[in-house]
Amino acid sequence: QVQLVQPGAEVRKPGASVKLSCKASGYTFTRYYIHWVRQAPGQGLEWMGRINPSGGSTIYAQKFQGRVTMTRDTSASTVYMELSSLKSEDTAVYYCTRAGNGMDVWGQGTTVTVSS
Amino acid sequence: QAVVTQEPSLTVSPGGTVTLTCGSSTGAVTSGHYPYWFQQKPGQAPTTLIYDTSNKHSWTPARFSGSLLGGKAALTLSGAQPEDEADYYCLLSYSGAWGGVFGGGTKLTVL
């Protein structure tokens, strides 16, 4: 079936970077954009950006520009989201979701903890 | 950047009707903002209920509907059930490219 698989958790120190993966299966990978959304503990959802897996074009939320990079590996049907210069405020659950069909599929989320 | 506003909390009686709204600091919300509505229960990933203003997924209960109302996007729940108690978020798209902004969310209580 159609699914997006994300690793469960990552821990980083302040100032480090984290590269999260989102592996797609059950559909043609290049046909649907992937968006990244995060949610800090007890807070709302925050849109981070999106990538077109076909050509690799990206759009990032202004807040994250300069600090986020979204890439894809079509041979592995996987998109990546790298966030650099991590701060404690980046502690959150990071979700990927498939667009183009009404954001019908979501990954289970990766919990990123930024702590010294 | 645009700010998207939602009611922080609402309460509805079982079997009752409630409308959640989603406004934009830039002006009226239109179909060109491609409004989305998501439901999120504690400890779970969001679930998309409505996309492109009023389109439903196969799993969206018929009691949920999306529309534009008074310059805002709206999510109406008719015949609330206890399992509808959750957080609800809207998402609007801005500019020609797909740049999204979420509202702060509405905590819906069924009581």
- Residues A14-28 pLDDT 10s: 999 999 999 999 999
Instruction: Give the pLDDT mean for B70-77.
Output: 98
Strand B47-51 versus strand B55-56 pairing type: antiparallel
How far is the alpha carbon of A76 from chain B, nearest alpha carbon, in Å?
24
Instruction: Tell if the CB–CB gap between A45 and B36 is shorter than 8 Å.
Output: no
* Mean pLDDT of all residues in B51-74: 97
Q: Per the CB < 8 Å rule, is A35 touching B100?
A: yes
Mean residue pLDDT across chain B: 95
For A9, half-sphere exposure in the C-beta direction (CA atoms, 13 angstrom radius) is 4
- For testing contact with chain A, the best of B37, B44, B98 (most A CBs within 10 A): B98
- The phi and psi torsions of A78 (rounded to 5 degrees) equal -130, 135
Residue B96 pLDDT more than 80? no
Which token pair is A61? 């939320």
Mean of pLDDT values over A2-17: 97
Q: Say if the Cβ atoms of A99 and B45 lie within 8 Å.
A: no
